[in-house]
Amino acid sequence: MLAIEHLSKHFGELQALNDVNFNVEKGEIMGLIGQNGAGKSTTFHSILSFIHYDGTINWDGQPITEAVFNQIGYLPEERSLMPKMTIEQQILYLAQLKGQSARKIRSEIDDWMARFEVKGKKNDKIKSLSKGNQQKVQLICTLIHHPSLIILDEPFSGLDPVNVDLLEQAISNAKREGAAIIFSSHDMGNVEALCDQLVMLRKGDMVLHGEIRAIRDQFGKSEIFVTTPWSAVELQQLPHVIKVTSLSNQRYLLRVDDPTAGREIFQRLSHGEYIEEFSQQPPTLDEIFRMKAGNDQ
Are 99 and 111 contained in the same domain? Answer: yes
297: in domain? no
Domain count, the chain: 2
| Cα distance between residue 131 and residue 133, in whole Å | 6
The CATH number of whichever domain residue 248 belongs to comes to 3.30.70
Are 202 and 87 contained in the same domain? Answer: yes
Are 69 and 142 contained in the same domain? Answer: yes
153: in domain? yes
Are 207 and 238 contained in the same domain? Answer: no
Q: Is residue 248 a contact partner of residue 207, using CB atoms and an 8 Å limit? A: no
Strand partners, 125: 86
Instruction: For residue 180, give the 3-state DSSP assignment.
Output: strand
Instruction: For residue 195, give the 3-state DSSP assignment.
Output: coil
How many CA within 13 A on the CB side of residue 182? 25
As a whole number of Å, the end-to-end CA separation of the chain is 32
118: in domain? yes
How many CA within 13 A on the CB side of residue 209? 10
What is the number of other CB atoms lying within 10 angstroms of the CB of residue 121?
12
Domain that holds residue 33: 2-217
Strand partners, 206: 201
1-4 — which CB contacts under 8 Å span 24+ positions?
A: 1/25, 1/26, 1/59, 1/60, 1/61, 1/180, 2/47, 2/57, 2/58, 2/59, 2/149, 2/180, 2/182, 3/56, 3/57, 3/58, 3/59, 3/61, 4/43, 4/47, 4/55, 4/56, 4/57
Q: What is the pLDDT of residue 294?
A: 67
Are 225 and 251 contained in the same domain? Answer: yes
> 187-232 pLDDT, tens per residue?
898 899 999 999 999 999 999 999 999 999 999 999 999 999 999 9
Query: What secondary structure, in 3-state letters, does 72-94 show?
Result: EEEECCCCCCCCCCEHHHHHHHH
Local confidence pLDDT in tens for the 297 residues of the chain:
999 999 999 999 999 999 999 999 999 999 999 999 999 999 999 999 999 999 999 999 999 988 889 999 999 988 789 999 999 999 999 999 999 999 999 999 999 999 999 998 999 999 999 988 998 999 999 999 999 999 999 998 878 889 899 999 999 999 999 999 999 998 898 899 999 999 999 999 999 999 999 999 999 999 999 999 999 999 999 999 999 999 998 999 999 999 999 999 999 999 989 999 999 999 989 989 988 886 544
| Cα distance between residue 251 and residue 141, in whole Å | 46
Which residues, 6 or more positions from 52, have their beta carbon under 8 angstroms from its beta carbon?
A: none
117 Rama sector, left if φ>0, alpha if ψ -120 to 50, beta otherwise: left
Q: Is residue 167 a contact partner of residue 156, using CB atoms and an 8 Å limit? A: yes
Q: What is the pLDDT of residue 293?
A: 81
Q: Is residue 168 a contact partner of residue 194, using CB atoms and an 8 Å limit? A: yes
117: in domain? yes
Are 212 and 246 contained in the same domain? Answer: no
Q: What is the pLDDT of residue 265?
A: 97
Are 245 and 175 contained in the same domain? Answer: no
CA dihedral 268, 274, 275, 281 (to 10 degrees): 80
Are 94 and 231 contained in the same domain? Answer: no
Q: Which residues of 122-135 are buried (b: 16+ CB within 10 A; e: fewer)?
A: bebebeebeeebbb
Are 229 and 152 contained in the same domain? Answer: no
Are 212 and 225 contained in the same domain? Answer: no
